[in-house]
Amino acid sequence: MSTSFNQILISRSALCHNYRLLSERVGKTAHLLAMVKADAYGHGMIQTAGVLNNAGCRHFGVAEVGEGVQLRESGVEGAIFVFLGFDPLDVSLFFEYDLIPVIYDLESARVLSLEAVKRDTVIEVHVKVDCGMTRLGIFPEAFGVFSSALQQLPGITLTGIASHFPRSDEADSDHTSKQFLRFEKLFAIAGHADTLIKHIANSGGVLYFPHTSCDMARAGISLYGYYPDGMIGSAAENGEQLQPVMSFVTRVLQVKTVPAGVGISYGHTYVTSRETRLAVLPVGYEDGLSRSLSNKGEVLVHGERAKVRGRICMNLCMVDVSHIEGVQAGDEVIILGRQGKDTISGDEIAGWMDSISYEVLCLFGNNNERKYIE
């Protein structure tokens, strides 16, 4: 198999560091669930879950049932929660692969009930409640009727209640605490609240509202080394820092010098104002380097920053290395990560894109060859 010019490096040690740190934040009375949906935010779902399994993680979250099946077939042990619902044609997979459905409608419950009865077994379900996200989930005022209806269905047992915070990345906001109070009121309605697994905290909840960890907290972006409020959270961290798990390394293909007045790349959106030395890199929007970074993005070469010049192409881009001595073909280039004394983070790239680190990691990780390092 050939080797790509572009390498996504995934640090197992950074991943384990973050898992340990976040587990300590939620405390000994709550489980930490690792969100590994979206191919573990670009880090590789199977490999990431395997590392976390070895580190002691026994709770995982995915979006679709097919992801849960892949985890089980790879040997992952513990509870696997499917958060996005399912097609009725796939209901048997929950039983065959020991997956836990998070449901938000009675039709799904009925389908699960029929399958459970057919198999002469009982399946555990968690119910998603919409306490303010306005996404998936039943409204709190409907929970009483919904849980009563579940109790009438054979083969199903309600073992958990879930919700989600939309603004927990705002550490100084009181919205999350108010939303948590709505969630807490459900416990009395549920009846056997002391035996239910309650979970609402995401990364922001774990880091900024630790009292919301309940019985289980779901770590997503923080597990991969980023704060949900980006650079603000990183700068405000007084304790042990999260460590970014992903780096993106490439190399220089060619170096060329052009005079002043020369247009660069498609559309000539950048025209040189002086003699300019350009390094051509084998990275483009197919590799996750968003076209929106044209004339905005920066990379590290010889430990110094080089600006993207001209439009980013499908597989190539150009950076200005006029101020960096000795750059030649084959030299290492950092798109994401550290080189020398400088670092380009997912948060910084997200800022140039007017986006968030989540998107940056998914774009890079899901579009390039990954290599796992210690």
Taking only the tens place, the pLDDT of each residue in 66-109 is 999 999 999 999 999 999 999 999 999 999 999 999 999 999 99
Six-digit token pair at 207? Answer: 């880091």
Q: Where are the alpha helices (DSSP H) in 92-164?
A: 92-96, 106-119, 143-151
Six-digit token pair at 82? Answer: 């499917």
Closest CA to 106 of 133, 82, 142, 76: 142
Quick count: other Cβ atoms within 10 Å of Cβ 133? 16
Say if CB 153 and CB 113 are below 8 A apart.
yes
Q: What is the pLDDT of residue 314?
A: 98
Where in the sequence numbering do the catalytic residues fall?
37, 266
Report the Cα 316 to chain-centroid distance in Å.
Answer: 26
Report the helix count and the strand count for the chain, using DSSP H and E: 12, 20
Say if CB 108 and CB 100 are below 8 A apart.
no
Judge whether residue 347 has pLDDT over 90: yes
* Interatomic CA distance for residues 18 and 32, integer angstroms: 11
Taking only the tens place, the pLDDT of each residue in 168-182 is 999 988 999 999 999
Taking only the tens place, the pLDDT of each residue in 142-155 is 999 999 999 999 99
- Mean pLDDT, to the nearest integer, of 45-65? 98
pLDDT band, residue 17 (cuts 50/70/90):
very high
Say if CB 11 and CB 245 are below 8 A apart.
yes
Cα torsion 321, 326, 329, 334 to 10°: value is -60
The domains found in the chain, sorted by start residue, are 12-236 (3.20.20.10), 246-373 (2.40.37.10)
Q: Between 193 and 291, whose confidence is greater?
A: 291
The dihedrals phi and psi of 152, each to the nearest 5 degrees, come to: -85, -10
Judge whether residue 195 has pLDDT over 90: no
Six-digit token pair at 319? Answer: 């950076």
Q: What burial class does residue 220 get, using C-beta atoms within 10 Å of its C-beta: 0-12 exposed, 13-18 middle, 19+ buried?
A: buried
Six-digit token pair at 234? Answer: 């990183």
pTM: 0.95
Residue 72 among known ligand-binding residues: no
Residue 314 among known ligand-binding residues: yes
For β-strands 197-199 and 7-11, DSSP reports them as unpaired
